Amino acid sequence: MKKLLSKELRLCLAPQVITFICLSALIAIPSWPALTSFIYTFMALVIIFPVAIANRDIEFTSLLPIRKIDIVKGKVLLATFIELSSILVSIPFALLKYFIISPALGEASQYPELGINLVLYGIVLAMCGFFNLLFIPMYYKNPFKTAKSQLLSTFFIIILTMLVTALFMTFPAASAFVNSFSGLALIIQFVSLGAGIGLFVLFSFLAFHFGAKKIRPIDL
């Protein structure tokens, strides 16, 4: 598995992908809804597949002494690596916003939104897993074309991001609750994070499982 991920990083990790991963740092912008900072993570994910096609990654990987389904496994590993890297990059900037930038600007600059909390990261993890589940099986139905799977998966994840962001903006009480860090709210935060981690693992595994089923009959 380690060697498979290493191969993916060498052949498919374009400089643009690293830039998009780093853009999760935009979570520190005061007027920036926290959840929207991770849209760039999904932009990074859709880039790696055209890069793989340009580098003839599928043909190269199919010549290696591995199973055909390991082609899918490699891409799922790379996708989860990018997603987790983006989340890790965001954390110090999220803390900077929560402890320094927002208090310095005062309550007048605040508005109801999901905010910086464990619920945010639970939702992000669940969305990353959901994106994998949408994109990977759709892509491996025809792994030499990316447009349809890219457009549909990105469209659904942007709509989902907008809906969740709008929900917390529309209901300020919900925003205040998840950002209170006390009592029941704190329990909900840890439960949400745990659920997000569970869904991320489950959806990513299912993405590999369904992607592997799609690639089996394809002549590479």
Radius of gyration, CA atoms only, the chain: 19
List pLDDT tens digits, range 87-105.
Answer: 999 999 999 998 888 888 7
Instruction: Give dist(CA 220, CA 201) in Å, integer.
Output: 28
Q: Residue 12 pLDDT > 90, yes or no?
A: no
Domain ranges of the chain: 2-215
Instruction: Give dist(CA 66, CA 68) in Å, integer.
Output: 7
Instruction: Give dist(CA 220, CA 212) in Å, integer.
Output: 13
DSSP state of 27: G
Q: Average the pLDDT over 73-77 and give the result.
A: 88
pTM: 0.90
- Look at residue 201 in the predicted model and tell me its pLDDT: 96
- Look at residue 172 in the predicted model and tell me its pLDDT: 86
